[in-house]
């Protein structure tokens, strides 16, 4: 996860006959997708309206992304609070929350540079260090969950997903390095530019594998569709941004913030669905049971 982008880059008891949570899960998913799509469209519309005022666009983008990251972090923290640290989900979602906390801190630092001091944003900066550190807990979440379920993985799908990811990102990284004007000037900046898509690629494999294992499940598939989508969207943003910023470091790079906003919103959606579907809520269970058994 890079950032930011719209800137100059110099820088059991209730079993009723029809009371099913599964039926609700499709409704949840549809609603969540509608909310995410609406928010992204509104964001795009606002940016279009503010287009002439670059500073207003920057402020709006930063605040929107911060709000989306904060929402995702809040939901992750709520999950940790409700399910505690026991079991697979307890540990992996705590790691996910830690990763989101690091990324949210990175967003705040970046916003401070861009809006708070209105100074040229250093690159790499403390924000980049926080974003890169965040990959650790996210990796833990994805790989530990995948290791738990990998007995159900079909070997040919593992090979296919790994090969496709390696082919796509294996070509992006050399293209970025070879086309880079940073090779002679700033090796650290080039390394950071390349590290983002490379780490994204590492996360993509377990995320897509988890989706492939759980895709036929009515409940299991819901959070993983959104989580896989969020990682893919962020990876696309990172790769394109990394390539452009490495090959034309002095150019103004606009329009990438929508990838990160959508990525955070998809993460928040995944966490919302997990919260609703995989953490027992007696009050909600009772409500559904009463509704279905009137």
Partner 1 sequence: MRDLATITSKVLSSLGETTMQALFWELSTQGVTTNPEEFDIRKFDQELKKIFGDGANVFMDEIYIQFKEHVERQHVDLKQIAELDDDSLAPIDKILRILSLKVTT
- State in angstroms the smallest separation of the CB of 26 from partner 1: 12
Q: How many residues contact partner 1, by CB under 8 A?
A: 38
Distance CA 126, CA 173 (A): 23
Helix (H, G, I), strand (E, B) or coil at 116: helix
Distance CA 137, CA 95 (A): 5
- State in angstroms the smallest separation of the CB of 279 from partner 1: 5
x/- string (CB under 8 A) for partner 1, residues 155-194? ----------------------------------------
Q: Which CB sits closer to partner 1, 24 or 186?
A: 24
Pair type for strands 7-8 and 252-253 = antiparallel
Stretch that binds partner 1, among 81-89, 180-188, 237-245, 262-270 (CB under 8 A): 81-89
Q: Which CB sits closer to partner 1, 132 or 209?
A: 209
Q: Which CB sits closer to partner 1, 151 or 294?
A: 151
Given a contact cutoff of 8 angstroms between Cβ atoms, the answer to whether 174 and 121 are in contact is no
Distance CA 231, CA 96 (A): 13
151: part of which helix (H) or strand (E)? Answer: none
Q: Which CB sits closer to partner 1, 68 or 214?
A: 214
Distance CA 205, CA 211 (A): 10
293 counts as binding partner 1 under rule CB under 8 A:
no
DSSP 252-274: EE-STHHHHHHHHHHHHHHHHHH
- State in angstroms the smallest separation of the CB of 250 from partner 1: 49
**Among 151, 155, 283, 294, which residue interacts with partner 1 (rule: CB under 8 A)?**
151
Name residues contacting partner 1, limited to 206-265 (CB under 8 A): 213-221
Q: How far is CA 26 from CA 20, 30, 72, 188, 209, in A?
A: 11, 6, 21, 46, 21
Which residues fall within 8 angstroms of residue 218, CB to CB, at 6 or more apart? 22, 25, 26
90 counts as binding partner 1 under rule CB under 8 A:
yes
Secondary structure tally for the chain: helices H, strands E: 10, 2
**Among 27, 48, 52, 86, which residue interacts with partner 1 (rule: CB under 8 A)?**
86
Q: Which CB sits closer to partner 1, 48 or 81?
A: 81
Per CB under 8 A, residues contacting partner 1 are: 12-16, 19-22, 82-84, 86-90, 148-149, 151-152, 154, 213-221, 277-281, 285, 289
């Amino acid at each position: 996860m890079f950032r930011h982008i719209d800137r100059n880059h110099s820088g059991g008891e209730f079993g009723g006959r029809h009371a099913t949570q599964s039926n609700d899960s499709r409704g949840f998913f549809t609603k969540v997708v509608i909310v995410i799509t609406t928010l992204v469209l509104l964001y795009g519309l606002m940016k279009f309206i503010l287009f002439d005022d670059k500073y207003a666009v920057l402020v709006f983008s930063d605040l929107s992304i911060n709000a989306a990251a904060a929402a995702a972090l809040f939901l992750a923290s709520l999950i940790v609070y409700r399910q505690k640290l026991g079991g697979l989900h307890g540990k992996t979602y705590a790691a996910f929350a830690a990763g989101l906390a690091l990324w949210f801190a990175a967003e705040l630092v970046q916003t401070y540079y861009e809006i708070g001091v209105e100074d040229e944003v250093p690159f790499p900066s403390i924000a980049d260090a926080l974003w890169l550190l965040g990959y650790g807990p996210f990796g833990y979440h994805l790989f530990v969950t995948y290791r738990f379920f990998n007995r159900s993985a079909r070997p040919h799908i593992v090979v296919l997903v790994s090969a496709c990811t390696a082919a796509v990102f294996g070509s992006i990284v050399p293209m970025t390095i070879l086309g880079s004007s940073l090779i002679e000037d700033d090796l650290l900046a080039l390394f950071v530019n390349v590290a983002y898509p490379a780490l994204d690629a590492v996360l993509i494999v377990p995320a897509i594998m988890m989706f492939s294992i759980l895709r036929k499940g009515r409940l299991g598939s819901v959070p993983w569709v959104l989580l896989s989508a969020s990682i893919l969207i962020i990876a696309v943003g990172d790769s394109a941004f990394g390539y452009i910023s490495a090959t034309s470091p002095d150019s103004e790079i606009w329009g990438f913030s929508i990838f990160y906003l959508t990525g955070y919103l998809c993460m928040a959606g995944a966490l919302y669905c997990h919260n609703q579907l995989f953490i027992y809520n007696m009050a909600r269970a009772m409500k559904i049971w009463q509704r279905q058994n009137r």
